[in-house]
Structure 1
Amino acid sequence: MTNEEIIFKIITEAGDAKSLAFEALKEARKGDFKKARKKLKKANKNFNNAHDVQTDLISKEANGQKNEVSILMVHAQDHLTSATLAKDLIKEMVKMQEEIFNLKENKQ
């Protein structure tokens, strides 16, 4: 894989992970927690794909193979970082939404 292909793999996988996480939150807000968990599971797969590519780059660099740091690489890392934060935060928000839903159901 070329450096650009590696970069765009990170961007694509991280972007898909982030989008799926936000879709999961929408499903949770509608009360469909089964769909929300499915979306989070898919998001996690995409995130792991991006993270694996990043880990491979880090391992190669640790073994002496230098990587070119371009603005695109920085952009890819930004995508991965924001996807990480979104995924983790939304996972907790889905849990909170389910707790709220259950509390409302128990009051009725």
Structure 2
Amino acid sequence: MTQEQLEAIMGLIMNSGNAKSNAMEAIQAAKKNDFELAKTKLAEADEALVEAHHAQTGLLTKEAQGDQMTVTLLAVHSQDHLMTSITFNDLAKEVVDIYQRLADE
């Protein structure tokens, strides 16, 4: 694995983790009826996911160009981390929406 590939994988893990953390913070803010903070945290989660996708796209582009990467447990972990964070972020948006609707009643 090259240094560039390792950096991309670590970017995937780091940004995916940040996205998930921000999504969790959005839910916690919504529980406290702080919907402005929840909205901010969801936006930050989306930004982190965009950065993670950039890292993933870089790896996919290199592979499409013939620069094969050895699949390691770390590479698999990074993809798992990304997919889990995307799912969690989608769910967090729904949870925040439910809290908002309950607060509006």
TM-score range, shorter chain: over 0.9
Question: Whole-Å Cα distance in 2 between the matches of residues 23 and 57 of structure 1?
Answer: 29
Q: Which has the larger radius of gyration?
A: 1
Post-superposition Cα deviations, 1:14-67, rounded to whole Å, max 9, x if no partner, equal 001000000000000100000000001011111110011101211221222212
Count of aligned residue pairs for this structure pair: 103
Supply the RMSD in Å over aligned alpha carbons.
1.0
Is the aligned partner of 1:3 residue 2:17?
Answer: no
What is the TM-score normalised by the length of structure 1?
0.90
User: 1:16 corresponds to which residue?
Assistant: 18
What is the TM-score normalised by the length of structure 2?
0.92
5+ residue gaps, structure 1 = 104-108
Instruction: List, as ranges, runs of 4+ consecutive aligned residues in structure 1 with deviation greater than 2 Å.
Output: none
Question: Of the candidates 64, 68, 71, which is equivalent to residue 69 of structure 1?
Answer: 71
Give the share of equivalent positions with the same residue, in percent: 39
- DSSP-derived class of the 1:2 partner: helix
Structure 2 letter corresponding to 1:12: M
Question: Whole-Å Cα distance in 2 between the matches of residues 68 and 50 of structure 1?
Answer: 20
